[in-house]
Structure 1
Amino acid sequence: MACVLITGANRGIGLALAKLYLDSGWHVLATVRDINSSQALRDLAGGSASGVLDIYPLDVTNYIQLDDLAKQLSVLAIDVVINNAGLYGPKGYGFGHCDVEAWRRVMEVNAIAPAKLAEAFYPNLLRGQCKTFAALSSRVGSHTENTKGGGYIYRSSKAALNSVVKSLSNDLLPQGIKTVALHPGWVKTQMGGPNALITPQESALGLKRVLDELQEEQSGSFLSFDGSVIPW
């Protein structure tokens, strides 16, 4: 049975991905920051006839907890690791009004934590078949497409994440591990808001399709959920 690790799987895109992989017969290792807020995820456990779901508490910025989880799962071969956990930070700010402490927090969640996640589960990926590390980014992290300014905190964190993914590709591809930064689309989640264009289920379907079809020559790339390439 193929195995996938998904962080931030208690709601939104993470929850939709967990359900999709379960329905596809995968062993899903789902992490949540607060186990008490994961009822929707726990409800999936009895709903799939083919997949297996295991849920673990994890704050992705608690690196002691991360290392402990990696030790707990050390014997498992993991085919795909999906860093879905992310933080937008404060909204409605502009130039000259950035909350520095919030900026530090968003950078840690969105850029540092994914790198630490890759380090922690690198041995598991080596044992897997697909050997894929994916991080949910955003096209607002594209330098080319930034034509409006603003959004300093979130934009810079996703641009940093893209750089992490590119470096991971250079370091890990020689060992067969593919890495990719994924734009999930503008999704109707707590972060995306009600005016977004697609549902979490539509996003998850596209993301899984991209991951299923990912080739080694695409490692280190920045792809949308529809498979299109996003310029750096």
Structure 2
Amino acid sequence: MLQTLVLTGANRGIGLELARLFTADGNRFVHACCRRPDEAAALQELAGDHAGRLAIHALDVTDAGSVADLASATGSAPIDLLLNNAGILNPRQTLDDLDFEAWETELQVNTLAPMRMALAFRAKLRQASNPRIVTISSQMGSLARPKGGSYAYRSSKAAVNKAMQGLAVDLAGEGICVVAMHPGWVRTSMGGPEAEIEPVESAKGIFAVATSLTLDDSGRFLTWDGREHAW
């Protein structure tokens, strides 16, 4: 029986590479989500190459109704892995140019949305034999790394780290593993051309870690290559 994955932010970068890896694996059905599927040409091509193995869904992770519609559209099968990958970074975050409305948007996408997704799929995760929630965070949210600038992004990732830590405690009794992951500094539209690794390298590491997690790992903050990261 195929395991079932729900993946947000699947239209580009790390998310698209994860969609490719999970469909190529042969053991999983992928619900790949993005805001505008009609503009996601590479994801559409992937779905065409893997008919019956990958479904594309329109999803606005900040909209409760959209998330509820997705939970309904995924059917009655257990969800084995929820991979919260969708995220945004607003470049205007210096002390001289803070955009507070954009800050609120980053909190909605980077912090609240993973919690909204977790609650929407909680019942279906409980039905799986080894249910896991993996939220892509960032070392920029680590309080162990004192840095200035990027206030909205750093605070949104620090907040989601704490939310996932608490969720791990509250869902332990339901057998659901919850971890946060730093994906590395990746050459995407968010990470920029000077970043250290390519999206496919990050995705391969995340895939390896996510597919090997058990309940004993719940509550950890991990790097893309499986190392422990300081909170």
**TM above 0.5:** yes
1:70 alignment counterpart: 71
Q: 2: distance between equivalents of 1:163 and 1:101?
A: 22
Instruction: Give yes or no for contact 1:78–1:131 (8 Å, CA) kept in 2.
Output: yes
Q: How does 1:140-219 map to 2 (within 5 A)?
A: 140-146=140-146, 148-219=147-218
Q: How does 1:81-92 map to 2 (within 5 A)?
A: 81-91=82-92
Q: How does 1:81-120 map to 2 (within 5 A)?
A: 81-91=82-92, 93-120=93-120
Q: 2: distance between equivalents of 1:131 and 1:166?
A: 16
Deviation at 1:197, TM superposition (A): 1.3
2:54 alignment counterpart: 53
- Segments of 5+ residues of structure 1 without an aligned counterpart are none
Q: 1:55-90 deviations in whole A, cap 9, x for unaligned?
A: 010010011111122122241211000000001113
Deviation at 1:179, TM superposition (A): 0.4
Deviation at 1:37, TM superposition (A): 1.5
Q: 2: distance between equivalents of 1:209 and 1:58?
A: 26
Q: 1:20-70 deviations in whole A, cap 9, x for unaligned?
A: 000001100001101222110011123348x70000100100111111221
CA separation of 1:72/1:47 partners in 2, compared to 1, >3 Å: closer, same or farther?
Answer: closer
Deviation at 1:107, TM superposition (A): 0.5
1:36 alignment counterpart: 38
Q: How does 1:120-135 map to 2 (within 5 A)?
A: 120-135=120-135
Instruction: Give yes or no for contact 2:179–2:219 (8 Å, CA) kept in 1.
Output: yes
Aligned positions, number: 229
TM-score by length of 2: 0.95
* Partner secondary structure for residue 111 of structure 2: helix
2:25 alignment counterpart: 24
**Residue identity matched to 1:116:** R
* Partner secondary structure for residue 27 of structure 1: strand
Q: 1:121-146 deviations in whole A, cap 9, x for unaligned?
A: 11111112320001000001000012
Instruction: Give yes or no for contact 1:90–1:102 (8 Å, CA) kept in 2.
Output: no
Matched, 1:10 2:16: no
Structural RMSD (CA)? 1.4
Deviation at 1:3, TM superposition (A): 1.0
Q: 1:176-229 deviations in whole A, cap 9, x for unaligned?
A: 000000111111111111111111111111001111222322211110011111
Q: 1: distance between equivalents of 2:148 and 2:91?
A: 16
